């Protein structure tokens, strides 16, 4: 069901979510534009939080694909029972399954003790392991990790990657901590996740995110290996995000229906780009654009 939902969303949601688009101007596969008002979570008069916004957009997507999901359900049940089953499954997909809230102490370099606040959300275990980044930021909250974990599930479903969505956050400003202190925080967070079964091959696999990278992943892998006896990883992580942005741009810019909404012609020719992002993502994206397309970047 997740795979089918992701495929239908990939083909059909653009018309509902891109302002100004219509069924006539978008590709034929993107013409599912009816709404059933499953939720008013994203009413413009409201000021919803991040996770409520994600749930609201999920409801819009569910309204678009419900009829097709019922049609594709190959059972001998009556149409009414099929409808109830599909709606039940969609309700199961929507919430975040598990959220772990942690508070743990670390001893700082000056001898003081500090309690660190952290979270790990697992949105779905429909396909395991869960996967999702770990970010270090003072803006981290339970709401944020739930929302980002949910979006990770949907992103994986759209491209048929066999993972559930997860996300973690540690509520710190890494600039205020020494390398030694950051290592202590990372290793202790790993141990706390392991105690609760929130990390491990086939269970939940972390990745870099805001203010984390290869160094933090090596601390996590080493801590997990010395306490649980196993670790692993995959190649290509460094370029993954920037390369993904490039392919997203490539698919959008080569589609005449989308470009016509901007009053532009398809293709990369005669176009320049302004990019603002994390340095690593920018460098990978710039190198990819330059090496693959020879583009000018402002």
In the residue annotation, 195 being an active-site residue is answered as no
∠50-52-57 over CA atoms, to 5°? 95
Numbers of helices and strands, H then E, in the chain: 10, 7
Tokens encoding 202: 């086939």
Residue (of 107, 155, 104, 109) closest to 130 by Cα position? 155
Q: Which residue is listed with tokens 């039940």?
A: 88
Phi, psi of 106, rounded to the nearest 5 degrees: -135, 150
How far from 173 is each of 140, 186, 207, CA to CA, in Å? 10, 13, 19
Give dist(CA 237, CA 88) in Å, integer. 36
- How many CB atoms are closer than 10 A to CB 28? 8
Give the strand pairing for 98-107 and 113-122.
antiparallel
- Catalytic residue, from 131, 146, 167, 281: name it: 167
Active site residues: 167
């Amino acid at each position: 069901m997740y795979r089918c939902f992701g495929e239908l969303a990939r083909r059909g949601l653009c018309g509902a979510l891109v302002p100004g688009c219509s069924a006539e101007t978008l590709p034929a596969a993107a013409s599912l534009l009816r709404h059933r008002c499953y939720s008013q979570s994203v009413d413009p008069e409201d000021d919803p939080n991040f996770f409520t916004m994600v749930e609201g957009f999920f409801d819009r997507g569910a309204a678009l694909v419900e009829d097709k999901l019922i049609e594709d359900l190959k059972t001998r049940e009556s149409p009414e029972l099929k409808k109830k089953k599909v709606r039940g499954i969609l309700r199961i997909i929507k919430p975040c399954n598990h959220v772990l809230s942690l508070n743990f102490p670390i001893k700082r370099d000056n001898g003081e003790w500090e309690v660190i606040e952290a979270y790990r959300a697992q949105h779905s275990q429909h396909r395991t392991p869960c996967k999702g980044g770990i970010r270090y930021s003072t803006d981290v909250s339970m709401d944020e990790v739930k929302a980002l974990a949910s979006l990770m599930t949907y992103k994986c479903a759209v491209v048929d990657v066999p993972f559930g969505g997860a996300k973690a956050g540690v509520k710190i400003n890494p600039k205020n901590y020494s390398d030694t202190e950051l290592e202590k925080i990372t290793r202790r967070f790993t141990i706390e996740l392991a105690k609760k079964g929130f990390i491990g091959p086939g269970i939940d696999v972390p990745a870099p995110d805001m203010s984390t990278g290869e160094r933090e992943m090596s601390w996590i892998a080493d801590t997990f290996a010395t306490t649980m006896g196993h670790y692993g990883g995959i190649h290509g992580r460094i370029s993954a995000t920037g390369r993904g942005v490039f392919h997203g741009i490539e698919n959008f810019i080569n589609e005449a229906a989308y470009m016509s909404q901007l009053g532009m012609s398809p293709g990369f020719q005669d176009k320049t780009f302004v990019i603002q992002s994390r340095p690593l993502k920018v460098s990978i994206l710039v190198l990819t654009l330059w090496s693959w397309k020879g583009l000018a970047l402002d």
